[in-house]
Amino acid sequence: MRVSRKVGVVDSHIDGRLVAMNSEMEFVELDTTGEFIWSQISQPTDVDRIVGAMVETFEVDPDVCRADAVRFLHQLRDAHLVDLT
């Protein structure tokens, strides 16, 4: 699965937390893991690369990581922040 940020999405640190906002002015506050994934999709990429980077950075089982990352990416898609193909 390929992931890319939607055109017009902006992000900013507010009070020490990263917030991503879509073109409809709806926003999502990202936790540490969400911020890591968000940084991985600054350019279009695929889930395998995201999971690989997470497994290298965090002590996490690859299968659990993939399931959690895909679920989170679907949440970002539902919030109109990313495109999944």
What's the domain range around 45?
Answer: 2-80
Torsion sign, CA atoms 56, 58, 64, 65? negative
For residue 85, tell me if it sits in a domain.
no
Structural domain count of the chain: 1
Instruction: Find the CATH number of the domain harbouring 69.
Output: 1.10.10
Q: Give the tokens for residue 28.
A: 């999502």
Q: DSSP label at 35?
A: H
The radius of gyration computed from the CA coordinates of the chain, to the nearest angstrom, equals: 12
pLDDT in tens, 37-83: 999 999 999 999 999 999 999 999 999 999 999 999 999 999 999 99
pLDDT score, position 83: 97
pTM for the full model? 0.92
> 49 in a domain, yes or no?
yes
